[in-house]
Amino acid sequence: MKNVVIAGATGAVGNEFIKLLEAREFPVKNLRLLASARSIGKKLEFRGEKIPVEQLTSKSFNGVDLAFFSAGRESSKVYIPHAVESGTVVIDNSSAFRMDPDVPLVVPEINPESVFKHKGIIANPNCSTIQMVVALNPIHKAAEVKRVVVSTYQSTAGAGAKGMNELLNQARAWANGEALEISSFPSQILFNLFPHVDIFMENGYTKEEMKMVNETKKIMNTPNMGISATCVRVPVLRSHSEAVWIETEKKITPKEAKEILKKSPGLTVRDEPENGGYPMPWEVDNTLDTFVGRIREDFSHPKGLTFWVVADNLNKGAALNSIQIAEVLEAG
């Protein structure tokens, strides 16, 4: 049994942590909930008990075995070193330590063994990366993926509770004929979309796009894989979608790929397009698997395959993957 804290407990991912720790019967002895000073006075329910939210400080980690962090990159940078100093094992949802060679970056379906190389911190990958690699890795094992081109359709939940609220508030304001407020996003998100997730880098890509490139190579241990991403924010509340095109070393047919994906952990194949049988964010919300559909030959290339991937970015893209990492640690 473990003493556990959630840093960022009042956020969109924090909320899923609380629900999933309970639902999966993670062996929690004592759970403490941490957030900013703004949340002092709030109480959140875990196993029928109302737990008061405490302020996250450098002294929050005495006697804590395990900390789940989802309070933003800056909080991770400031507070995680204190947690590690206290002997706490940290599973971090932010991008702060993901590319640090001493920090394992883990998707349990792919590289569970690297969990045990940790020196106090284990990083949870970016949400868009996780769902892509869960689908990509089984195909890579069968046919060696040489090149990936991906276009994402990312929900507002990727920007946390405030991102989801911004879409809802804009919808309400529009219905009432009022001016739309923009604060979390670079532009209006209602009735719109933009190829702009996170900041722009010198190479013309966004930081989100480069996370998909670099994190995929680290998780799958494929330094020479060609990857190019375009990340797009769309007016969806929750769950990310991705169109993925791949070139493989060995020819793989859509039928073969489907059979492989059906047998792979964490994946559900929903691929009967004539009957509306393709995954959509609306129906994937609050589920745990990564869903794949529209699996077909990319006829622009002799060894090309293309498919569509949808997953709940707050679950498999964040809280669930982190808890699965903790479960691997627990199982030893």
Stretch that binds ligand A2P, among 3-11, 114-122, 223-231, 307-315 (CB under 6 A): 3-11
**Total residues interacting with ligand A2P, rule: CB under 6 A:** 17
- How do 43-46 and 49-55 pair as beta strands? antiparallel
Q: How far is the CB of 135 from ligand A2P (least distance, A)?
A: 25
Among residues 160, 279, 281, 304, which is the contact residue for ligand A2P, using CB under 6 A?
Answer: 160
Stretch that binds ligand A2P, among 59-67, 71-79, 85-93, 108-116 (CB under 6 A): 71-79
Stretch that binds ligand A2P, among 31-39, 136-144, 190-198, 315-323 (CB under 6 A): 31-39
Which long-range contacts (C-beta less than 8 Å, at least 24 apart) are formed by 182-189?
Answer: 184/156, 184/159, 184/160, 185/156, 185/159, 185/233, 189/156, 189/233, 189/235
Residue 72 binding ligand A2P, by CB under 6 A: yes
Q: How far is the CB of 303 from ligand A2P (least distance, A)?
A: 40
Residue 125 binding ligand A2P, by CB under 6 A: no
Angle between helices 320-331 and 12-23 (to 10 degrees): 40
Rounded Cα distance, 106 and 327, in Å: 12
Q: From the centroid of its chain, how far is CA 299?
A: 31
Residue 4 binding ligand A2P, by CB under 6 A: no
Q: What is the DSSP letter of 324?
A: H
Q: Is 40 exposed, middle or buried (0-12, 13-18, 19+ CB in 10 A)?
A: exposed
Among residues 4, 31, 71, 319, which is the contact residue for ligand A2P, using CB under 6 A?
Answer: 71
Residue 132 binding ligand A2P, by CB under 6 A: no
Residue 75 binding ligand A2P, by CB under 6 A: yes
Residue 8 binding ligand A2P, by CB under 6 A: yes
Of the candidates 186, 152, 153, 182, the residue with the CA atom closest to the CA atom of residue 165: 182
Cα diameter, the chain: 61
Q: Are 38 and 55 in contact (CB under 8 A)?
A: no
State yes or no: is 127 an active-site residue.
yes
- How do 145-153 and 240-248 pair as beta strands? antiparallel
- 3-class DSSP string for 192-218: CCECCCCCECCCCCEHHHHHHHHHHHH
Among residues 23, 27, 30, 38, which is the contact residue for ligand A2P, using CB under 6 A?
Answer: 38
Q: How far is the CB of 261 from ligand A2P (least distance, A)?
A: 31
| Tokens matching residue 176 | 């009432």
Q: How far is the CB of 161 from ligand A2P (least distance, A)?
A: 4
Q: How far is the CB of 58 from ligand A2P (least distance, A)?
A: 11
Rounded Cα distance, 22 and 9, in Å: 14
Q: Which residue is nearest to ligand A2P (CB)?
A: 11
Residue 154 binding ligand A2P, by CB under 6 A: no
List helix spans (H) across 52-126.
Answer: 73-85
Q: How far is the CB of 204 from ligand A2P (least distance, A)?
A: 27
State yes or no: is 231 an active-site residue.
no
Rounded Cα distance, 131 and 292, in Å: 10
**34/115 with CB nearer ligand A2P:** 34
Among residues 19, 24, 147, 162, which is the contact residue for ligand A2P, using CB under 6 A?
Answer: 162
SS3 66: strand
Q: Which residues bind ligand A2P (CB under 6 A)?
A: 8-12, 14, 35-36, 38-39, 56, 71-72, 75, 160-162
Catalytic residues: 127, 240
